């Protein structure tokens, strides 16, 4: 900029660039700039708009940071009611649904449907005029909702300006979507609230709803909200014949569509999709509670019409509940690898989504107090995938007065050593490093997938080895002999030899995995990578000062103190030397840098791989500059096909994505190394 006359045009240029990069990132999954470059551009725009408030417009990308609080929400009447869906709970219900459709349409022909995951979130409606976001509202009672435009703008993948993909933007369009919070983001959000002493959200849906209905949109902007769009309720200038066609149009206009939606399928494939999704739902990054089935033909939808509550052309086929009520029988305290004492609830067994749950985490003593949990309480228990079930809340109305308060032990329940709770920390710890419970957990962590990845060294075997005093530290693993192992329970000579082979194979390890394996407090996989990228060699870390650690981006004083305290211990230094003297070789990151010949390529893995683990396949792709996605989209380059593939295969076929088997995949990897 040469003068103030250039500022308006420069701001407009920045806005257009940011809208473009939002579209590249959220819709095309093909960013052109780094996150840091995007953030720098956004901060520059915010700074210029702050200095020139008269140039701030409603469609600015800076709306993502939120606006000053409102006194209350205005109501908005939906031009077309946002009706709720009827629910189905069995295949018979779905067959009845189709039978009713055929009767109303007076046809014996097979009906085509579009099926999609039923996201457990909050339904919203967005209105655009001439390509600009005009207003956003909640579903409310279906007829009228709350006007939440400023909050909607803070969601990163909501287009404030429609981009279009070589097409004309409609002059008016109303779209509907589901706002949600991902599983990992929900866990992080609740951890923050726990640290701040705020009440926890019971589930991701409540968190999304509470976040979206904040009068201060600056609070909403700090919440990790996302949205999938699923419907066009009104549109000018463009004629559509099917629901699947409308989804394609939405994606072209810059709206994020769920990539695992299936279109134009018959009732048999609808039920197949339901079963496939029920099997993989725990692996999805967001919560779903069923599938939504919609008649694909829009003329049929009009002919079918609606009841006073629900459309006749759509239905939700619900999964089994993942939250159930049961009785808390007792609370046991477990000891982890760093000595942390964790209370665990013993429950009256309850079936949650097909799994019998009899134990659930209570996290720590402070949370038990905050939730007012007592032994004998009836509690709401939640299960999500492979995550340990947790107690969400107490059902106070079921209390009888016979419930008992729980007290954390003042000595370790395993070794009877003193328990110490540092000021400001939520967890109490056993301070005896020779506690057998800690030893077992450290060894399990050392052998885990993100560390040495020793196949066959599982929980039960570690317990036997420690209890029989065959091993007492991680370094002892490398001294195990077939003769000793084959005498153990459930271990024959072949199993023993397989474990010895796995241990030998594990001896070649990268620096970041080695650091993670040591089990240093606060050093997870991410921090271990930061350290390995910075120091390159183990000796550089061992000889570094505490001040050096604190100067590394992403490593604060707490992490720096933890590393140095660990390395100051003579016992820990001896353990590291014993591991290295056992033949372990640390492959330095800079000594085997692979050419980035898969840069920009996106892979999706489906089914079980036989000759290579998923984690190894993912690492090979990423080492060569490629990316691994959990879902198939138009931007996917390869779908790698294993045994018993899921719905990703059908999606890949529909989109014409290149499908390769395991052998072809290995050839791609090997020819590029």
371 included as an active-site residue: no
Q: In what order do the strands lie in the sheet with 113-119?
A: 87-88, 314-318, 288-295, 113-119, 262-265
- Number of helices (H), then strands (E), in the chain: 24, 24
Provide DSSP, 562-616: HHHHHHH-HHHHHHHHHHHHTT-EEE-GGGSPPP-TTTT-EEEEESB-SSS-HHH
Which residues are 378's β-sheet partners?
Answer: 327
Q: Which residue has the tokens 């879902």?
A: 631
Helices (H), 374-492: 436-447, 459-467, 482-485
Q: Which residue has the tokens 């134009």?
A: 264
Question: What radius of gyration do the chain's Cα atoms show?
Answer: 28
**DSSP strand E in 90-206: where?**
113-119, 122-129, 132-138, 144-146, 172-181
Long-range contact pairs involving 572-580 (C-beta distance under 8 Å, separation at least 24): 572/518, 575/473, 575/474, 575/475, 576/518, 576/542, 578/473, 578/475, 579/474, 579/475, 579/478
Which residues are 605's β-sheet partners?
Answer: 640
Map residue 560 onto helix, strand or coil: helix
Angstrom distances, CA of residue 79 to CA of 228, 373, 389, 428: 21, 47, 42, 56
Within 8 A by CB and 6+ apart from 210, the residues are 201
Map residue 81 onto helix, strand or coil: coil
Q: Which of 526, 523, 507, 660 is nearest to 586 (CA)?
A: 507
* 319 alpha-carbon distance from chain centroid: 20
CB atoms within 10 A of CB 195: 11
Contact 148, 235 (CB under 8 A): no
Q: In terms of C-beta density within 10 A (0-12 exposed, 13-18 middle, 19 or more buried), how is residue 347 classed?
A: buried
Q: Which of 118, 226, 262, 371 is catalytic?
A: 118
201 vs 185: CA distance, rounded Å = 12
Q: What are phi and psi of 3, to 5 degrees?
A: -155, 180
Q: Which of 531, 528, 338 is nearest to 444 (CA)?
A: 338
Q: Which residues of 244-283 are buried (b: 16+ CB within 10 A; e: fewer)?
A: bbbbebbbbbbbbbbbbbbbebebebbbbbbebbbebbbe
**DSSP strand E in 195-354: where?**
225-235, 262-265, 288-295, 314-318, 323-335, 341-352
Residues noted as catalytic:
118
């Amino acid at each position: 900029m040469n003068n103030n006359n250039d500022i308006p045009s420069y701001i407009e240029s920045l806005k257009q660039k940011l809208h473009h990069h939002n579209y590249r990132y959220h819709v095309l999954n093909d960013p052109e700039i780094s996150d840091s470059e995007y953030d720098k551009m956004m901060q520059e725009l915010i700074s210029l708009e702050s200095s020139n408030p008269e140039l701030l417009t409603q469609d600015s990308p800076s709306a993502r940071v939120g606006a000053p609080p409102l006194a209350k929400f205005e109501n908005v009447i939906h031009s077309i009611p946002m009706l709720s869906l009827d629910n189905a709970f069995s295949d018979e219900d779905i067959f009845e649904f189709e039978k009713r459709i055929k009767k109303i349409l007076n046809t014996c022909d097979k009906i085509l449907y579009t099926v999609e995951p039923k996201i457990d979130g909050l339904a919203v409606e967005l209105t655009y005029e001439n390509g600009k976001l005009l207003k956003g509202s909640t579903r409310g009672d279906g007829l009228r909702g709350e006007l939440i435009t400023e909050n909607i703008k803070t969601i990163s993948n909501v287009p404030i300006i429609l981009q279009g993909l070589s097409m004309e933007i409609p002059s008016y369009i109303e779209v509907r979507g589901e706002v949600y919070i991902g599983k990992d983001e929900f866990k992080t959000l609740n951890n923050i609230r726990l640290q701040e002493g705020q009440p926890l959200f019971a589930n991701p849906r409540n968190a999304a709803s509470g976040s979206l209905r904040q009068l201060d949109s600056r609070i909403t902007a700090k919440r990790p909200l996302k949205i999938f769009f699923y419907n066009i309720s009104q549109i000018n200038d463009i004629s559509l014949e099917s629901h699947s066609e409308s989804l394609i149009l939405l994606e072209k206009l810059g709206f994020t569509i769920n990539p695992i939606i299936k279109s134009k399928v018959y009732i048999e494939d609808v039920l197949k999709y339901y079963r496939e999704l029920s099997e993989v739902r725990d692996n999805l990054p967001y919560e779903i509670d069923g599938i939504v089935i919609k008649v694909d033909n829009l003329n049929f939808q009009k002919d079918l019409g609606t009841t006073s509550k629900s459309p006749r052309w759509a239905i939700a086929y619900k999964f089994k509940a993942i939250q159930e009520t049961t009785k808390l029988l007792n609370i046991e305290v477990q000891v982890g690898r760093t000595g942390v004492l964790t209370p665990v609830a013993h429950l009256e067994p309850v079936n949650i989504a097909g799994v019998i749950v009899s134990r659930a985490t209570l996290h720590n003593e402070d949370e038990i107090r905050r939730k007012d949990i007592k032994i004998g309480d009836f509690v709401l228990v939640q299960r999500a995938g492979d995550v340990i079930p947790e107690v969400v809340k107490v059902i106070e109305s079921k209390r009888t007065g016979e419930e008992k308060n729980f007290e954390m032990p003042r000595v370790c329940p395993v070794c009877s050593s003193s328990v110490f709770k540092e000021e400001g920390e939520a967890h109490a710890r056993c301070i005896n490093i020779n506690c057998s419970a800690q030893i077992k957990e450290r060894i399990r962590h050392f052998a885990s997938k993100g560390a040495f990845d020793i196949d066959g060294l599982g929980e039960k075997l570690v317990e036997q080895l420690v209890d029989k005093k065959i091993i007492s530290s991680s370094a002892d693993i490398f001294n195990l002999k077939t003769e000793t192992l084959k005498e153990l329970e459930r271990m024959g000579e072949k199993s023993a030899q397989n474990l010895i082979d796995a241990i030998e194979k594990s001896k070649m390890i990268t620096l970041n995995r080695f650091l993670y394996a040591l089990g240093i407090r606060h050093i997870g996989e991410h921090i271990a990578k930061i350290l390995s990228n910075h120091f390159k060699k183990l000796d550089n870390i061992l000889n570094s000062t505490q001040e050096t650690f604190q100067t590394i981006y992403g490593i604060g004083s707490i992490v720096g103190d933890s590393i140095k305290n660990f390395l100051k211990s003579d016992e820990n230094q001896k353990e590291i030397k014993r591991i290295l003297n056992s033949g372990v070789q640390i492959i330095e990151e800079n000594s085997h840098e692979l050419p980035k010949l898969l840069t920009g390529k996106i892979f999706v893995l489906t089914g079980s791989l036989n000759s290579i683990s998923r984690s190894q396949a993912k690492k090979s792709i990423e080492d060569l500059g490629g990316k691994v996605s959990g879902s198939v989209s138009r931007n996917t380059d390869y779908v790698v096909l294993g045994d018993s593939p899921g719905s990703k295969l059908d999606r890949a076929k529909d989109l014409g994505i290149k499908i390769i088997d395991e052998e072809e995949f290995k050839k791609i990897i090997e020819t590029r190394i």
